[in-house]
Amino acid sequence: MPPAQLVGIGRVVETLKTEFPDITISKIRFLETEGLVLPERAPSGYRKYSPADVDRLRYILRVQRDQYLPLKVIREHLEMMDAGQQPPAADAPPPPPAATHAPVDPPDPPSGPAPRSPRTVRLTRRELIRESGLPEATLIELERQQMVLPRRNSMYYGRDALMICVVARRLQDYGMDTRHMRAIRQSAEHEAGLIEQGAQPLRRGGNGNQVVAELANLVVHAHAALVQTILEH
């Protein structure tokens, strides 16, 4: 693709803002982190979006706004489109009750190599170091403290391990090291305990994994919003 057709994330926001006034860089990066859009990377590391990427974002934002589709369903639709199939036409559900608050933009995730898809991230240890840019000595320390682990019953690392390594590498730019990562882990362990406690009574229906995922999503967004609120006051 000719480089002239590739644009930065700021230009993408400008392009989409007419139709989606609430669009933000944070929102686009969140969709990228979820594997819904995969922009190219310039040698400098900056995201570069093609016209197809912008169209993909426009589709995602439209079905979120008009049909209230969850990300899981949107991902399935995108996979069908990638395979040359037509996603099912769905009638837009009724709007949420008036008392429901508008969704808050998710936090700005750290920049770094975007996973190809939540289902396809399968990295060896050497690939994890290369993709994240994390020094091996830091990875050794994170592994020693069991903050970065391969997938269960596997020698490969997944999407969460990649994200943790990217965060650890970026924190180093601000003078923060694995000691600070330990504090983040302690907070995560506490929140994981709350999620497990909340999900326990609902596991009997056979949808335990779904309940845990939904609770985790709510807790993560609440945590991000509370941190931002504390920093602003």
Distance of CA 121 to the CA centre of its chain: 13
**pLDDT bucket at 11, cuts 50 / 70 / 90:** very high
Residue 230 CA from chain centroid, whole number: 23
Higher pLDDT, 139 or 119: 139
At the top level of CATH, the class of 110-176 is mainly alpha
pLDDT (0 to 100) of residue 107: 43
Average pLDDT over residues 56-79: 86
Give the integer Cα–Cα distance in Å for 99 and 163.
Answer: 35
Q: 159 near 121, Cβ under 8 Å?
A: yes
216-231 pLDDT, tens digit each: 888 888 888 888 888 8
Average pLDDT over residues 59-65: 88
Which fold would CATH assign to domain 3-82? Answer: Multidrug-efflux Transporter Regulator; Chain: A; Domain 2 (1.10.1660)
Q: What is the mean pLDDT of residues 32-50?
A: 83
**What pLDDT, in 10s, does the model give residues 87-130?**
876 544 434 443 333 343 444 444 444 433 444 678 888 888 88
What's the pTM value of the predicted model, to 2 decimals?
0.46
Domain boundaries, the chain: 3-82, 110-176, 180-233
pLDDT value at position 217? Answer: 81
The C-alpha atoms of residue 108 and residue 58 are separated, in whole angstroms, by 19
Decide if 3-82 and 110-176 have a common fold.
yes
Q: How far apart are CA 169 and CA 177, in angstroms?
A: 9
pLDDT of residue 205: 59
Q: Long-range contacts for 88-92 (Cβ within 8 Å, ≥24 apart)?
A: 91/67, 92/66, 92/67, 92/68
pLDDT bucket at 1, cuts 50 / 70 / 90: very low
pLDDT, tens digit (0-9, with 9 covering 90-100), for 147-205: 998 888 788 888 888 889 988 888 888 888 888 888 888 888 888 888 888 777 766 65
In the predicted model, what is the mean pLDDT of residues 18-33? 87
- What pLDDT does residue 4 have? 52
Q: What is the pLDDT of residue 136?
A: 87
- Using 50, 70 and 90 to split pLDDT, how confident is the model at 13? very high
